[in-house]
A = this chain, B = another copy of it.
C-alpha cells in the first residue's frame, strides 16, 4: 500500500465507499460501510478516521456525495452546468481535518423553466470518461444526464426510488404480503405508465381489486410504472449509458430492452472511483 496516491470517498446518504487509489489510477482496495451521512454516528472527522484505518496517512482524501450537502460535513457549492472535470476541480472545498481532505462540489442547472441539482452523480459521470452521450443513473432520485464534449450540460431528476418506497410502504398500494418478482406485472406497469404516473399507480390498485393483479406482484407493477414513466420522458435519445451498482440496473435494463433501445450497462462504483481520481489529478491533488 506504499504507492497510494489518493483516498477517494463516495460518502452518500446511506452508505460509504472508500477507495485506495495507486499512482497509476488503479484501485488497490475498496471499503464499503453503511455509515452514511444520515446514520448520525458522531462527528464526521472521527467517522473519517475510522473509515481510513491503517491506510497511508500521506495520501490526500477527496470526497463526493451527500457529505457536501447541508446535512453533511461541509457545504460544497453547486457549480452551474456546463461542468466538466476542470470546473469541478476548481471548486473543491476543504474539510477541517489534520491532513488534506477536500469535497467535490455538486452541479446545478437552472433556467426559466427548470431547476435541478445533483451531488455525487457528477463524479460518476466524470469517471465514465465519455465525450457525448446520455447517462441514466437510477436511484432514489434517478438522474438522466446529458454530456457534451465531456461536460455535463443538462440533466433531469425523477423521484423514482423515493416514490416507489413511499407508495409501497404507505397508502392504497401498500403491501403486507411478501413480494414475488413478476416480469408480466412489470411489463403491465410499463404499459400502464403511458396514461400518466398517478393514474397508472391507481390502476395497480384497481387491478388488484378486480383480480387482475396478484398482491404479491404489486412491487413489480409499481416498479414498471415508475421506470416506464421515466423512459416516457426520455424518449428522444438513442444512445445511452446505464450506470448503476448492483441489482438496481436490472429493471431499467429490462425496460429499455422492452422499448427496443440500445444501451451500455456500466458499474457505477468503478466509475465513481475513477471520477474522484480524474478530478484529483485536475486539481493537482494526486
The residues of A with any CB-CB pair to B shorter than 8 Å are 70, 78, 108, 110, 113-117, 140-141, 156-160, 162-163, 165-167, 170-172, 191, 194-199, 201-203, 205-207, 209-210, 212, 226, 229-230, 233
Contact = CB atoms under 8 A, between A and B. Distances in A.
Contact of A196 (B163, B171, B194, B229): B229
Contact of A162 (B156, B160, B172, B210): B172
A159 B202 contact: yes
B117 A206 contact: yes
B198 A229 contact: yes
Nearest to A156: B199
How many copies of the chain does the oligomer comprise? 2
Given A156-B195, A159-B198, A229-B198, A210 B108 contact: yes
Nearest to A118: B206
A233 B166 contact: no
A115 B206 contact: yes
Given A157-B206, A206-B108, A163 B113 contact: no
A113 B157 contact: no
- In the A-B complex, the 3 residue pairs with the closest CB atoms: A157-B202, A159-B198, A166-B166
Given A141-B172, A167-B166, A229-B198, A206 B159 contact: no
Contacts of A110: 210, 212
B171 A162 contact: yes
A162 B205 CA distance: 13
